[in-house]
Copies of this chain bind each other. A is one copy, B any other.
Amino acid sequence: MSDLLARLRDRHWRLTAQRRVVAQVLDGDHVHFTADEIHARAVALLPEISRATVYNTLGELVALGEVLEVSTDGRAKRYDPNAHHAHQHLVCESCGTIRDVHPSGDPLGSLPATERYGFSVSGVEVTYRGLCPNCAQK
């Protein structure tokens, strides 16, 4: 994560206490928090941080390619700090838990030219859906 802060400094980001706290909350490669969850955790570390700043900071991190935005369910977007290793998501339909997964094969290659309708295709997202062990039990 200090790598992240270093990269951001290189890009002339002002290192404010608020931005540091958001980065700290996102630390760890396997969290998929919503903006509200990030705000709640940030407030625990820096009580006066505002919702707007959390949204601003997340938006900037996404624009810089340091964090991925995932909307798996039309509810709140989730933010995925694991932006530097290609992966896909496995989502529990019941509790919303997300796991990072690594399918075999190149998903982009599976779309033949005749199915591209003149689009310039730049990316692909694969979302597997199911029940996590916990929810399957109930």
Q: Using CB atoms and an 8 Å cutoff, list the residues of chain A in contact with chain B.
A: 69, 71-74, 77, 90, 92-93, 99, 101-105, 107-108, 110-112, 115-133, 136
- A44 CB → nearest B CB, Å: 26
Residue of B nearest to A76 (CB): B74
Q: Given known contacts A77-B74, A90-B116, A111-B101, is B122 in contact with A124 (CB within 8 Å)?
A: no
- Contact status B122-A130, CB under 8 Å: yes
* Closest chain B residue, CB of each to CB of A100: B115
A99–B74 CB distance below 8 A: no
A123 to chain B, nearest CB (A): 5
Chain B residues with CB below 8 A from A77, complex form: 74
What are the nearest 4 A-B pairs in CB distance? A71-B74, A118-B133, A121-B130, A103-B110
Tell me how far the C-beta of A68 lies from the nearest C-beta in chain B, rounded to whole angstroms.
Answer: 12
From residue A18, how far is it (CB to closest CB) to chain B in Å?
Answer: 23
